[in-house]
A and B are shown apart, each in its own frame.
Chain A
Amino acid sequence: MTNSWTDIKNTDLAIIMGGNAAEAHPCGFKWVTEAKANRGAKLIVVDPRYNRSAAVADYYAPIRQGTDIAFLLGVINQCIINDKVLWDYVKPFTNATFVVKEGFEYHDGLFTGYDEEKRDYDRSTWDYQIGDDGYAVVDETLANPRCVWNLLKEHVAAYTPEVVERICGTPKDKFLKVAEMIGECSAPNKIMTSMYALGWTQHSKGAQNIRCMAMLQLILGNIGMRGGGVNALRGHSNIQGLTDLGLLSNLIPGYLNIPKDSEPDFATYMSTRGFKPLRPNQMSYWQNYRKFFVSFMKSMFGNAATAENEWAYNYLPKLDVPQYDILLAFERMKQGKMNLYFCQGFNPLQAFPNKAKLAEALAKLKLLVIMDPLETETARFWENHGDFNQADPASIQTEVIQLPTTCFAEDEGALVNSGRWLQWHWAGGSPPGEAQHDSWIMAQIFLRLRDLYRKEGGAFPDPIVNLNWAYQDPGEPTPAELAREMNGSALVDVFDPNDPTKRLLEGGKQLSGFGQLRDDGTTASGCWLFTGSFTEAGNMMARRDNSDPGDTGAYLNWAFAWPANRRILYNRASCDLDGKPWDPSRKLIEWNGQKWTGYDVPDIAPTANPREVGPFIMNPEGTGRLFARTMMREGPFPVHYEPFESAVANVIAPKVRGNPAARVFADDWKQFADIGDPAFPYAGTTYRLTEHFHYWTKNNHVNSVLQPEQFVEISEELAKEKGIELGGWVRVWSKRGSLFAKAVVTKRIKPMTIDGKTVHVVGVPIHWGFVGAARKGFPANVLTPFVGDANIQTPEYKAFMVNIEPSTGPVA
Chain B
Amino acid sequence: MFPPIPNPSVDPAAAKPRFGEKDIMRRSASEVTPPAERLTEVAKLIDISKCIGCKACQSACLEWNQLHEEIGFNHGVYTNPMDLTANTFTLMRFTEWVNPQTDNLEWLIRKDGCMHCEDPGCLKACPSPGAIVQYSNGIVDFIHENCIGCGYCIKGCPFDIPRMSKADNTVYKCTLCSDRVAVGQGPACQKACPTQAIVFGTKAEMKDWADFRIKDLKTRGFDNAGLYDPQGVGGTHVMYVLPHADQPSIYANLPDDPHISPIVQAWKGATKYVGLAVMGFAAAAGLLHYVVAGPNKVTEEDEENAERLTEGRTAPPPSPPSEPPSRGRTP
Contacts and interface: CB of A to CB of B under 8 A. Distances in A.
A387 to B, nearest CB: 17
B80 interface: yes
A744 interface: yes
Contacts of B52: 22-23, 26, 29, 52-53, 55-56, 690
A33 B195 contact: yes
B59 A706 contact: yes
B13 interface: no
Interface in A300-355: none
Contacts of B76: 711, 725-728, 742-745
Given A33-B50, A36-B216, A743-B76, A704 B195 contact: no
Given A55-B53, A727-B76, A40 B219 contact: yes
Contacts of A774: 71
Contact of B58 (A27, A706, A708, A742): A706
Given A27-B194, A40-B219, A55 B59 contact: no
Interface in A725-766: 725-728, 742-748
Interface string A26-58: 110110011011101000000000101111101
Nearest to B109: A55
Contact of A706 (B80, B195, B213): B80
A33 B80 CA distance: 25
B73 A708 contact: yes
Contacts of A711: 74, 76
A50 B105 CA distance: 9
B74 A744 contact: yes
Nearest to B221: A58
Contacts of A60: 104
Interface in B41-84: 49-56, 58-59, 62-63, 68-78, 80-81
A783 B330 CA distance: 50
Nearest to A28: B194
A438 B104 CA distance: 51
Contact of B196 (A30, A40, A742, A743): A30
B1 interface: yes
B70 A705 contact: yes
Nearest to B68: A701
Nearest to A33: B195
Interface centre among B53, B109, B219 (most CB of A within 10 A): B53
A702 B62 CA distance: 7
**Chain B interface mostly helix, strand, loop or mixed?**
loop
Contacts of A704: 71
B96 interface: yes
A662 B98 CA distance: 42
Interface residues of B, number: 42
B297 interface: no
Contacts of A690: 52-55
A718 to B, nearest CB: 14
A707 interface: yes
B109 to A, nearest CB: 6
Given A691-B55, A705-B69, A747-B98, A30 B75 contact: no
Contacts of A746: 96
Contacts of A56: 49-52, 195
B89 to A, nearest CB: 13
A709 interface: yes
A773 interface: yes
Nearest to A701: B71
**Chain A interface mostly helix, strand, loop or mixed?**
mixed
B220 interface: yes
B50 to A, nearest CB: 5
A282 interface: no
Nearest to A745: B76
A775 interface: yes
B230 to A, nearest CB: 25
A747 B109 CA distance: 14
Contacts of A725: 76
A545 B55 CA distance: 31
Chain A, interface size category, equals 35 or more
A710 interface: yes
Contacts of B212: 37
A647 B59 CA distance: 40
Contacts of A54: 107
Contacts of B81: 705
A38 B209 CA distance: 12
Nearest to A744: B76
Contacts of B69: 702, 705
Contact of A709 (B55, B59, B74): B74
B195 A26 contact: yes
Nearest to B1: A34
Contact of B216 (A30, A40, A705, A747): A40
A727 B196 contact: no
A703 interface: yes
Nearest to A34: B1
A386 B72 CA distance: 22
A242 to B, nearest CB: 25
Contact of B107 (A30, A58, A727, A748): A748
Interface string A679-714: 000000000001100000000011111111111000
A120 B222 CA distance: 53
B54 A52 contact: yes
Nearest to B52: A22
Interface string B176-207: 00000000000000000011110000000000
A708 B73 CA distance: 6
B71 A705 contact: yes
Interface in A583-618: none
Nearest to A24: B54
A14 to B, nearest CB: 13
B80 A707 contact: yes
Contacts of B75: 726-727, 742
Contacts of A22: 52, 54, 195
A26 B56 contact: yes
A683 B194 CA distance: 32
Nearest to B70: A705
Contacts of A743: 76
B77 to A, nearest CB: 7
A702 B59 contact: yes
Interface in B75-133: 75-78, 80-81, 96, 98, 104-107, 109
Contacts of B106: 55
Interface centre among B52, B70, B80, B196 (most CB of A within 10 A): B52
A715 to B, nearest CB: 11
B217 to A, nearest CB: 10
Contact of A708 (B59, B80, B107): B80
A702 B87 CA distance: 12
B51 A748 contact: no
A52 B96 CA distance: 12
A746 B72 CA distance: 20
Contacts of B55: 690-691, 706
Given A56-B50, A726-B76, A745-B76, A29 B107 contact: no
Nearest to B106: A55
A4 to B, nearest CB: 16
A776 to B, nearest CB: 11
7 contacts: A22-B52, A23-B54, A37-B50, A711-B76, A743-B76, A744-B78, A748-B105
Given A23-B52, A705-B70, 17 more contacts: A22-B54, A22-B195, A23-B54, A26-B54, A29-B52, A33-B196, A36-B216, A55-B53, A690-B53, A702-B69, A705-B69, A706-B55, A708-B73, A747-B96, A748-B96, A748-B105, A775-B71
Interface of A: 22-23, 26-27, 29-30, 33-34, 36-38, 40, 50, 52-56, 58, 60, 690-691, 701-711, 725-728, 742-748, 773-775
Interface of B: 1, 49-56, 58-59, 62-63, 68-78, 80-81, 96, 98, 104-107, 109, 194-197, 212-213, 216, 219-220
Q: Which 9 A-B pairs have CB atoms at the shortest separation, nearest pair first?
A: A727-B76, A26-B194, A726-B76, A22-B52, A709-B74, A55-B107, A742-B74, A727-B75, A27-B194
